[in-house]
Amino acid sequence: MEIREKEYGILDLLAIPFRCNWAAAGFILLQRVLLGLVPTVQVIATAAFIDGVLDVYWGKGELADVYGSLLVMVALVAYNRLIWRALSLAGVRLDMGYQAGVRTAVTAKRSRLAYHHIEDAETWDLLNRVSNDGQTQILGGFNSLLTLGSSIIHISGLVVLLFSQVWWAPLLILAFSIPLFALGIKGGRATYEVNREVSKYRRRHEYLGEVLLSREAVEERALFGYGEALNEKWNEFYEKARVKQYQTQRKWYIRMKTGSVITAITSFLIVLVLLNPVLTGVISVGMFISLVNAVFGLVQVMSWDFTMVMDQLARSREFLKDLTEFAKLEETPGAVELPARVIPEFSTLEFKDVCFSYPGTEKMVLDKLSFRLDAGRNYAFVGVNGAGKTTIIKLMTGLYQNYSGEILLNGRELRTYSPSELKAFFNVFYQDFSRYYIPLGDNIALGDVNHGYDLTQIEEVVAQLDLDDVVSKLPEGLDTPLGRIKEGGQDISGGEWQRVAMGRAMYNPAPVRILDEPTAALDPIAESRLYQQFEQISQGKTTVLISHRLGSTKLADHIFVIDGGTLAEAGSHGELMEQGGLYREMYESQRGWYS
Amino acid sequence: MREKLGLATIFKGLADIIWRAVPSLVTTHALVGIVHGIFTGLGAVAFQRFFDAVTEAVAVPGALAAVYWSLAFLCFVHIGKEVLNGVHNFISNVLLMKLNGYVNLQIHAKASRMEPIAFENGEFLDDINKAREGAQNSLVLILISSTIFTFYLPYFIFMAVYLYSLKPSLALALVLVFVPTAITQFIRSAVFARLEDQVAPKRREFDYYERCLVHREYFKETRQLGAVSFFRRLYFTALRLLQRETWRAELRTNLIELGMNLVSFAGYGGVLYLLVTSLFRGEISVGSFAAVFASVGTMFSIMEEILVRHFGEISKGMGTVRNFIRFLNLAERKGDVAAVARSGDIVLKDVSFTYPGAEEPSLRGINLTVRSGETLAIVGPNGAGKSTLVRLLTGLYLPTGGEVLVDGVSTKELAPQALYEGVSGVFQKYQRYQMTLKENVMISDTASNSDADFKAALTKAELDLDPGTFPVGAETMLSREFDGVDLSGGQWQRVAVARGFYRQHNLIILDEPTAAIDPLEETRIYKQFEEMSRNKTSILVTHRLGSARVADRIVVLDNGEISAVGTHAELMDTPGLYQEMYRAQAQWYAS
């Protein structure tokens, strides 16, 4: 299935389940219609039964005559109680259909999204809502619609029956009750708004609760002793949320119970209307009794069921809005393709007056940035925090394309390359590299998906990175799943994960290798070691180091100093030191500690 | 081994909490429940009365008064029942929300009285993490139990009496309702948990591959590697397996349920048989038959509500309820509240420390005196035990061997308030509180509320209140989520430093931040650390050996032991770890 771009509306609550599994959805629909008819048939059967028994009492009939209607009554009860199992199984089929059809389509679309959506906090929430709540909201909405339909059939059946007995009764009743119900439904919208306000306070106190109980904050919490003061504040927010919620719930209950009291009064009216006909013998006692029972039975339907259905439909409609938004999100064509099979030759990469700001923001992260990389050399980008170093990588690898100026790869504008071609050029060792919970060997083999799993080559990588100790420790060596997802999965330490990621980088044949600044979790010694190792395994490649720590950047042939989104200085370490600019200042500030 | 908590203990503990929190609301809830239960039962009686009156009036024309009276009664009962149902459920909700607030306050208070080491203890961590959920479940548990006695029981007693009064053998109907439902629930709890256990691992795998495809932590790399199709393959394989398992489990579940439904239908049939035979024999009236027939369904659904929904919820939540009760029983720090001046020396005598559940000690054989007023630096490779040592010095952790003496008193004998008085710090993993700037700084000393001190702390931390960064000055909310602003790593670092300054201190801990900061910022921070430690006892934990040189003395930790103590010059004169590390770092800066 595909997530088509369109306005999703309430009818899609029917259409989507039918597309997921038409047989299951159709079966459920049919049964819910039948279930809506059951009460009416039940009334007729019960009426016949009671009248039969009364006839026997009054000496007008035989007991044998009532068995037929009794049988129908029993059969209806049986149907009513047993059909739910079949409905439940059909529901499972529908769940599965949703999972296989819609959820995977959502995942597929998410994996193709233009990258800026991923970094946008609001879109991110939307994405998670669409993935996580979809099944509940769509299928829940489907069920609610059916319940609504079923209730309408249920009520209409009784109205028709009533009409056939006393033709003017239903008209009177409808005239009286319809305006009242309309009023009840209207009240439902307001509560939705209040809920938003409540959730604002709730997020506040939930956050404070986290601070008060979390492991991360324990050091400051104990030493600064702010527990009590923060607890008071927690209570303040909790009470605000609670009072608001109290008010909403009061409204909710009043709305719901107004509905059922209106229904009760309507029932009362119906009984009054029917009273004279039964006393004058226009309708039978049996019909009267079973109609009264059925009409009062509606009170149940109208209170909890009706309110729940309305609430669910309101939630489903919100979700459909989300789905509409989601379907509109921009995709990057070719984003999920494999890297090009032929390893391209890299000669130059040139930024020419590149300006860039993140979508939806004003700030120029890169401001007329120009530099040039040549094949076979080692480069380093340095600069203070927020200078734009990581952004350069995102542009190089094509994650963002809305820059102005030119980026020329081998003399050709970067945007004219397909994603697949670009992937074949670059190999990035991210600071927050992925820890894939799949077998160790596959973790490395992912470095070259075109080539795939090649045992000899993987073993070479393992040997070169001294990963032997890790491999031999694992029960099934290279085939051992890492992490705790698969059964028999093993945990390895952070340092070991890093070496595995390094292995993946080594396995990657791309001609340009980029090392994004390693996380601060490393102490300076370990960091220098990482840089040295990186240089070692990158023999013959063009490398790019991103770092804010100097010293180890001396390993590079050529250093670019980025400041305020533009190139401040460039040259070898020696040249930059002579220039006496920002680089020297940074370097000296660190060296100061050692001289 | 942890004690196993009996049901009785749990109930007693919970009932105490509730009674203490909201006695009047609990009483009201119970009273409304009883009346609600009786009214629910009265519904059947009212129907019977009305139907009998109508049947009578049809047979004997003229007896209309009884018809109108019973109709009025019928309406009264039905409307009353609906209103009571609303009020009863509403009070339950109010009660739950109030209690939830109360219980959470207790949880938070408890968390701040607890031994901080409990958070490093794997055995307790589960109890702590699940305390909140457990509290919620406890409340539900107790509310359900109380509702059983104050609503369900009155209802069924009423029905029993009513049916008995119609015809003694009809009371049997209640047994016919109860037994099948109870058997159903018994089988259900035995079978279903097992079925769910079979499906869960498959679902985890499916969810995980989805993460690899779309989640932030994987997105960039999965795309760049071109690994999307690789994970799609795994994703769909996992989906097929998951669906196969789910279907198998659901099919079995529903077949078993079908069997159970048949049992309960047999119960229903039994009730109907009793009714019909009584009716045929003329032992009950047509009105009684119709009224009871209509309420059989209600009886079944109420019984199912108790046994299936409520007991199901209870047994699902029971695990976390135990977590919660155990959490409330976790050890608390006790001790003398008389403050120590924190002006004297801190003496460590043969101190060792082992994390709970760990086999190897993290620190051993530590003998060290931190002299009043000195600046002491602690250096060593990752995992040498630097942060642990600091936590022993502050008294956050108590030594598992030996003693830490503050002003001559063992940290084991002092209450936390006394121990932490006059201690401040900037920690490696300092907190980024999603609060206003002012709250972020003043949180280090909630007892004082001094604007002047706040300003002074900002100045010392070189934190400018420029309107570009802080649109509403000190009151700027530092959280995007709460409609405020995001700070950069460097700015957060300054906030943490201001926080450290704000708290009155004689002893200050400066743990080098791990967050990525550039060299200029780093240098500035060390300057501020120097400023903070002037005339105070200060302890500096650092990776950058160059910055340790400012200390009066340097402690070199290696693998949980002190390998050397001395000034920079002394340590550089003797071959060892310090010299080696220093050279390794300094080589990058050799000209």
A88 contacts in chain B (CB < 8 Å): 250, 254, 257
pLDDT of B256-269, one tens digit each?
A: 888 888 888 888 88
Q: Answer whether residue A192 shows pLDDT above 60.
A: no
CA distances from B289 to A108, A293, A438 (A): 60, 12, 66
pLDDT at B1: 38
Does B383 reach chain A within 8 Å, measured CB to CB? no
Q: Answer whether residue A96 shows pLDDT above 90.
A: yes
Q: What is the mean pLDDT of residues B7-17?
A: 79
CA distances from B147 to A302, B103, B507 (A): 24, 20, 56
pLDDT at B422: 86
Q: What is the mean pLDDT of residues B99-109?
A: 91
What sign results for the dihedral spanned by CA atoms B508, A548, B227, A482? Answer: negative
Which residues touch B454 (CB under 8 Å, ≥6 apart)?
Answer: B438, B441, B442, B474, B502
What sign results for the dihedral spanned by CA atoms B484, B488, B493, B497? Answer: negative
With vertex at residue B580, the alpha carbon angle to CA B575 and CA B585, rounded to the nearest 5 degrees, is: 145
Q: What is the mean pLDDT of residues A333-359?
A: 90
Burial letters for B243-276: b for 16+ Cβ neighbours within 10 Å, e otherwise?
bebbbebbeebbebbbebbebbbebbebbbebbb
pLDDT at B3: 54
Lowest mean pLDDT of A343-347, A368-372, A492-496, B186-190, name the range.
Answer: B186-190
Q: What is the mean pLDDT of residues B378-402?
A: 88
pLDDT of B338-363, one tens digit each?
A: 766 677 789 999 999 998 877 889 99
pLDDT at B489: 75
pLDDT of A479-512, one tens digit each?
A: 999 988 888 888 887 778 888 998 999 899 999 9
Q: Answer whether residue A522 shows pLDDT above 70.
A: no
Q: Answer whether residue B2 shows pLDDT above 60.
A: no
| Distance, CA of B283 to CA of B277 (rounded, Å) | 9
Interface of A with B in 140-159 (CB under 8 A): none
Q: What is the mean pLDDT of residues B3-8?
A: 68
A223 contacts in chain B (CB < 8 Å): 394, 396, 420, 423-425
Interface of B with A in 135-174 (CB under 8 A): none
Residue B547 lies in a domain: yes
Q: What token pair was written down for B277?
A: 């035979």
pLDDT at B47: 92
Residue B327 lies in a domain: no
Contact A74 B132 (CB under 8 A): no
Percentage above 90 pLDDT, chain B: 34
Q: Answer whether residue B546 shows pLDDT above 80.
A: no
**Domain boundary pick from B133, B164, B195:** B164
Q: Which of A85, A231, A428 has its CB closest to that of B258?
A: A85
Q: What is the mean pLDDT of residues A463-471?
A: 86
The architecture of the domain spanning A434-514 is 3-Layer(aba) Sandwich (3.40)
What strands, in cross-sheet order, belong to the sheet with A566-571? A426-429, A512-515, A542-547, A378-382, A558-563, A566-571
**Domain boundary pick from B144, B164, B184:** B164
CATH number at residue B407: 3.40.50.300
Best probe of the B interface among A79, A285, A448, A486, by most B CBs < 10 A, is A285
Best probe of the B interface among A85, A271, A427, A550, by most B CBs < 10 A, is A85
Q: What is the mean pLDDT of residues A140-149?
A: 94
Lowest mean pLDDT of A162-176, A353-367, B487-501, name the range.
Answer: A162-176
Residue B207 lies in a domain: no
A399: region left, alpha or beta (phi > 0 left; psi from -120 to 50 alpha): alpha
Is-contact B584 B546, C-beta < 8 A?
no
Domain span including residue B586? 336-422+509-515+539-591
Which neighbouring-strand residues pair with A514? A428, A544
Which neighbouring-strand residues pair with B410? B405
Q: Answer whether residue A122 shows pLDDT above 50.
A: yes
- Parallel, antiparallel, or unpaired: how do β-strands B375-379 and A566-571 relate? unpaired
pLDDT at B238: 94
Does B29 reach chain A within 8 Å, measured CB to CB? no
Q: Which of B58, B82, B251 has its CB closest to that of A260?
A: B82
When divided into structural domains, chain B yields a total of: 2
Does B579 reach chain A within 8 Å, measured CB to CB? no
Residue B162's nearest CA partner among B255, B270, B37, B67 is B37
**Domain boundary pick from B164, B183, B207:** B164
Q: Strand, helix or coil at B555?
A: strand
pLDDT of A553-592, one tens digit each?
A: 777 889 999 888 889 999 988 898 898 888 888 888 877 7
Burial letters for B434-464: b for 16+ Cβ neighbours within 10 Å, e otherwise?
bbbbbbbbbbbbbeeeeeebbeebbebbebe
Contact A235 B105 (CB under 8 A): yes
More confident of the two residues B520 and B515? B520
pLDDT at A184: 59
Q: Answer whether residue A20 shows pLDDT above 90.
A: yes
CA distances from A80 to A39, A87, B1, B267, B298 (A): 10, 11, 51, 15, 14
Q: Answer whether residue B591 shows pLDDT above 70.
A: no
Average pLDDT of chain B is 86
ipTM of the complex: 0.89
Give the residue ranges of DSSP H helices in A66-168: 67-98, 104-112, 115-119, 121-165
Task: Categorize the per-residue pLDDT at B516 as very low, low, confident or very high, splitting at 50, 70 and 90.
Answer: low
Residue A550's nearest CA partner among A519, A575, A522, A517 is A517
With vertex at residue B231, the alpha carbon angle to CA B228 and CA B237, rounded to the nearest 5 degrees, is: 140
Q: What is the mean pLDDT of residues B299-314?
A: 81
Residue B392's nearest CA partner among B350, B343, B336 is B350
Average pLDDT of chain A is 87
Lowest mean pLDDT of A541-545, B101-105, B264-268, B368-372, name the range.
Answer: B264-268
pLDDT of B462-502, one tens digit each?
A: 888 888 888 888 899 998 778 888 887 778 888 998 999 89
pLDDT of B22-64, one tens digit each?
A: 888 989 999 999 999 999 999 999 999 999 999 888 888 777 8
Contact A92 B549 (CB under 8 A): no
CA distances from B182 to A86, B298, B524 (A): 22, 16, 71
Does A247 reach chain B within 8 Å, measured CB to CB? no
| Distance, CA of A251 to CA of A270 (rounded, Å) | 28
Q: Answer whether residue A520 shows pLDDT above 60.
A: no
Contact B265 A290 (CB under 8 A): no
Burial class (CB in 10 A: 0-12, 13-18, 19+), A129: middle
pLDDT at B514: 55
Is-contact A258 A177, C-beta < 8 A?
no
Q: What is the mean pLDDT of residues B87-114?
A: 91
pTM for the whole structure: 0.84
More confident of the two residues B534 and A573? A573
